[in-house]
Structure 1
Amino acid sequence: MALRKKKTVRAAAAQIAPDLDSEGGTLARVLETVHEAARRGVELIVFPETFVPYYPYFSFVQPPARQGADHLLLMQRAPTVPGPMTEAVAAAARQAGMVVVLGVNERDHGSLYNTQLVFDADGRLVLKRRKITPTYHERMVWGQGDGSGLKAVDTAVGRVGALACWEHYNPLARYALMADHEQIHCAQFPGSLVGPIFAEQMGVTIRHHALESGCFVINATGWLHDEQVRRLMPDEALQGALRGGCHSAIVSPEGKYLAEPLTEGEGLVVADLDLALIDKRKRMMDSVGHYARPELLSLAIRRDAAATTRPLAAGEPALLSDDIPLPPEAA
Structure 2
Amino acid sequence: MNKNWTDVEFDLDGSVEKGVGLIKQAADNGANLIVFPELWFPGYPKGIADNVSIANHLKNYYDNSLVEGSSQWNKLLLAAKENHIYVVPAFSHRQGDYIYMAQALISPAGETILLRHKLRPSGGEREIWSDGTIEELKVVATPYGRWGLLECWEHFHPAMTYNVQSQVENLHIASFPC
Report the TM-score range of the alignment, normalised by the length of the smaller protein. over 0.9
Q: Which residue of the partner structure matches residue 55 of structure 1?
A: 44
How big is the shift at 1:21?
A: 5.7
Which of 151, 156, 168 lines up with 1:164 in the alignment?
151
The Cα of 1:72 is off from its aligned counterpart by: 1.0
Distance 1:145 1:156 in 2: 27
- State the alpha-carbon separation in 2 of the partners of residues 85 and 157 from structure 1: 27
Is 1:46 matched up with 2:46? no
User: Aligned partners of 1:18 and 1:185: how far apart in 2?
Assistant: 28
SS of the residue corresponding to residue 129 of structure 1 reads strand
Deviation at 1:91, TM superposition (A): 0.7
TM-score (ref. length: structure 2): 0.92
Q: Percent of pairs identical after alignment?
A: 28
1:23, 1:132 → 2: CA distance? 23
2:173 to 162, 168, 186: 186
SS at the partner of 1:148? helix
RMSD: 1.4
Q: Quick one: structure 1 residues 156 and 93, their matched pair in 2 at CA, closer, same or farther if it must change by over 3 Å? A: farther
Find 1:67's aligned residue among 54, 59, 73.
Answer: 54
The DSSP-based 3-state class of the residue aligned with 1:121 is coil
Aligned counterparts of 2:91 and 2:43: Cα–Cα separation in 1: 8
Equivalents in 2 of 1:21, 1:121: separation in Å?
Answer: 27
Match of 1:34, SS state, is: helix
1:265 paired residue number: none
**Alpha-carbon offset, residue 103 of structure 1:** 0.5
Q: Counterpart in 1 of 2:74?
A: 87
Secondary structure, counterpart of 2:141 in structure 1: strand
Give 2:135's aligned residue.
Answer: 148
CA separation of 1:20 and 1:156: change in aligned 2, threshold 3 A: farther
Q: Kindly indicate whether the alpha-carbon contact (under 8 Å) linking 2:35 and 2:87 is maintained by their aligned counterparts in 1.
A: yes
What residue in structure 2 maps to residue 114 of structure 1? Answer: 101
Partner of 2:11 in structure 1?
22
1:135 to 111, 122, 142: 122
Give the unaligned 5+ runs of structure 2: none
* Paired amino acid for 1:141: I
Instruction: Give the secondary-structure state (helix, strand or coil) at the position aligned to 1:159.
Output: strand
- What secondary structure, in the 3-state scheme, does the structure 1 residue paired with 2:115 have? strand
- SS in structure 2 of the partner of residue 33 of structure 1: helix
What one-letter code is carried by the residue in structure 1 that aligns with 2:165?
A: M
2:164 counterpart of 1:177: yes
The list of structure 1 runs, each at least 4 consecutive aligned residues, that deviate by more than 4 angstroms after superposition, is: none
Equivalent residue in structure 1 for 2:111, among 111, 120, 124: 124
Q: Following superposition of structure 1 onto structure 2, how do residues 258-273 of structure 1 map, counting pairs within 5 Å?
A: none
C-alpha distance in 2, partners of 1:151/1:113? Answer: 17
Task: Spell out, residue by residue over 1:167-224, the C-alpha distance to the aligned partner (whole angstroms, 9 max, x if none).
Answer: 0011111111111111111111112xxxxxxxxxxxxxxxxxxxxxxxxxxxxxxxxx
Give CA deviations for 1:299-327 in whole Å, capped at 9, x if unaligned.
Answer: xxxxxxxxxxxxxxxxxxxxxxxxxxxxx
Deviation per CA, 1:279-301, whole angstroms, max 9, x where unpaired?
xxxxxxxxxxxxxxxxxxxxxxx
1:18 Cα deviation from its structure 2 partner: 4.8
Contact 2:10 2:42 in 1 (8 A): no
Q: Which residue type is aligned with residue 39 of structure 1?
A: D
Residues 24-77 of structure 1: CA deviation (Å, up to 9, x unaligned): 1111111000100111110011100011111122333xx203321211110011
Q: Which residue of 1 aligns with 2:26?
A: 37
2:45 is matched by which residue type in structure 1? P
Q: Distance in 1 between matches of 2:65 and 2:10?
A: 13
Q: Is the 8 A contact 2:101 2:129 kept in 1?
A: yes
1:105–1:115: 8 Å Cα contact kept in structure 2?
yes
